[in-house]
Amino acid sequence: MKASHSFLHLLWLFFVQIYASSDLPICKESDYHFEYTDCDVLGSRWRVAVPNKPDTCTGLPDPVKGTQCTFSCSEGEFLDMRSQECQKCSGGTYSLGTGVAFDEWDSMPAGFISHGMNMNIADIYTNCSNSTWIPKGDYIASNIDECTSTLSYAVSLKKAGTVSFEYFYPDNTIFFEFYVQNDQCESTDSEGRWMRTSEKDWTPHNLKLNRGNNVLYWRTTSFALVGSAVKPVLLRNIAISGVAYTSECFHCKPGTYSAKPGSAHCTPCPADSYSNKGATVCQQCEVDKYAEAGSGSCKRRPACTTSDYFYTHTPCDSKGQTQLMYKWIEPKICSEIVEGTVDNSTGGSVKLPASGQMETCPPCNPGFSVTNTSGCEPCPHGSYSNGTACAECPVGTEPVVGFEYKWWNKMPDNMRSSVYSREYSDSARSTGWEVAGEYIYTTQGDLDSDYMMLSLTVPGYRLPHSVAKDDERSELSRISFVFETQCTADCTLYFMAGYSERTNDLVEHWSGTTRKQSYSYLVKSNSTVSFTWGFQRTQAYSEVRQYSSDFAKMYTVQITNVVGGVASQCRHCALGSGSASECVPCPPAHYMVNGTGVCKSCPPNTFIRADQTVGEAACIHCGPNTHSNKAHSACVSDCRLDLQSTGGGEVLQYDFTPLANITSFQSSPRFTSKGLRYFHQFRVGLCGEEGREVAVCVDNVTESRKEVRGYACQSTVVPSEVRGQSVVSSQPFTIGDTLIGVTSDTSLDSIASFESAFITKSNLPDVIFYYRSSETTQACKKGRTTTIRLRCDPTVARKDQITLPSKCSEGTCDGCSFHFLWRSLYACPLCTESHYREIVSACIQGIQRTTYVWQQPLQCTGGVSLPAQTVSACVTLDFWLKVGVSTGTVAAILLISISCYFWKRTRKLEYKYSKLMMTAGDKECELPAADSCAIMEGEDAEDDLIYLTKKSFFTKIKSFSRERSSDGFDSVPLKSSSGLEMEMS
* Most confident segment among 507-511, 786-790, 918-922: 786-790
760 pLDDT exceeds 90?
A: no
Q: Which of 180, 33, 163 is nearest to 99 (CA)?
A: 163
Q: What is the CB neighbour count within 10 angstroms for residue 185?
A: 7
Calculate what percentage of the chain has a pLDDT beyond 90.
20
pLDDT digits (tens, 9 = 90+) for 396-426: 888 889 999 998 888 898 999 888 775 544 4
Per-residue model confidence as pLDDT tens digits over 668-698: 888 776 667 788 899 999 999 888 889 999 8
pLDDT (0 to 100) of residue 218: 92
Q: Which amino acid is at 749?
A: D
pLDDT bin (cut points 50, 70, 90) of residue 623 is very high
CA distance 691 to 738: 15
- Kindly give, in sequence order, each residue whose CB lies less than 8 Å from that of residue 733, ignoring residues fewer than 6 positions away: 697, 708, 713, 714, 715, 773, 775, 784
Q: Does the CA dihedral 644-742-824-826 come out positive or negative?
A: negative
Tell me the sheet residues that pair with 850.
Answer: 840, 870
887 DSSP assignment: H
Dihedral sign, Cα of residue 25, residue 26, residue 31, residue 32? positive
Angstrom CA distances, 119 to 64, 222, 234, 651, 677, stand at 51, 11, 21, 55, 11
| CB-based contact 799:764 (threshold 8 Å) | no
Q: Helix 877-922 crosses helix 953-960 at what angle (to 10 degrees)?
A: 50
Neighbours of 613 (CB within 10 A): 22
Q: What is the Cα–Cα distance from 317 to 554, expressed in whole angstroms?
A: 25
- Find the largest Cα–Cα distance for the chain: 193
pLDDT at 972: 45
Q: E strands within 784-942?
A: 785-792, 802-803, 817-824, 836-840, 847-854, 870-873
d(CA 768, CA 933): 99
- Are 2 and 45 contacting, i.e. CB atoms less than 8 angstroms apart? no
Alpha-carbon gap, residue 392 to 567, rounded angstroms: 10
In this prediction, residue 830 carries a pLDDT of 92
Taking a C-beta distance cutoff of 8 angstroms, is the pair 539, 509 a contact?
A: no
Beta bridge partners of 556: 482
Angle (CA) 697 720 821, round 5°: 45
Query: Contact 51/60 with Cβ under 8 angstroms?
Result: yes
Q: What pLDDT, on the 0 to 100 scale, is given for residue 93? A: 92
- Confidence category of residue 484, pLDDT binned at 50, 70, 90: very high
Q: Map residue 46 onto helix, strand or coil.
A: strand
How far are the Cα atoms of 200, 227, 444, 451, 510 from residue 493, in angstroms, in the given order? 18, 17, 15, 9, 5
Four-residue CA torsion sign, 981, 982, 983, 984: negative
pLDDT class of 440 with cuts at 50, 70, 90:
very high
499 pLDDT higher than 90: no
Indicate the pTM of the whole model: 0.68
For residue 479, CA distances in Å to 109, 402, 595, 808 come to 49, 10, 26, 33
- Do 562 and 401 form a contact (C-beta atoms < 8 A)? yes
Rounded CA-CA distance 149/184 in Å is: 23
Q: Looking at 385-504, which runs of residues are DSSP E strands?
A: 391-392, 397-405, 415-420, 433-435, 440-442, 451-457, 477-486, 492-498
HEC letters along 563-579: CCCEEEEEEECEECCCC
- CA separation for the pair 388, 366 (Å, rounded): 8
| Eight-class DSSP state of 232 | P
Least confident of 131-135, 317-321, 344-348, 668-672: 344-348
Phi and psi at residue 352, to the nearest 5°: -70, 125
Tell me which DSSP letter residue 912 carries: H
For 49-101, write each residue's pLDDT tens digit: 888 888 788 888 888 888 877 777 888 888 888 888 888 999 999 988 888 88
| Contact present, 455 and 500 (Cβ < 8 Å) | no
Q: Which of 244, 245, 238 is nearest to 217 (CA)?
A: 238
10 Å CB burial of residue 178 (0-12, 13-18, 19+) is buried
Q: Supply the pLDDT for residue 199.
A: 63
Q: Is 273 left (phi over 0), alpha (psi -120 to 50) or beta?
A: beta
At 225, is the secondary structure helix, strand, or coil? Answer: coil
pLDDT tens, residue by residue, 342-383: 344 445 788 888 887 888 888 889 999 888 777 788 999 889
Q: What is the DSSP string of 839-872?
A: EEPP-BTTEEEEEEEE-SS---BSSSPPPPPEEE
Q: So what's the pLDDT on residue 963?
A: 46
**How far apart (Å, rounded) are the C-alpha atoms in residues 711 and 739?**
8
Q: Which residues pair with 162 in a beta bridge?
A: 208
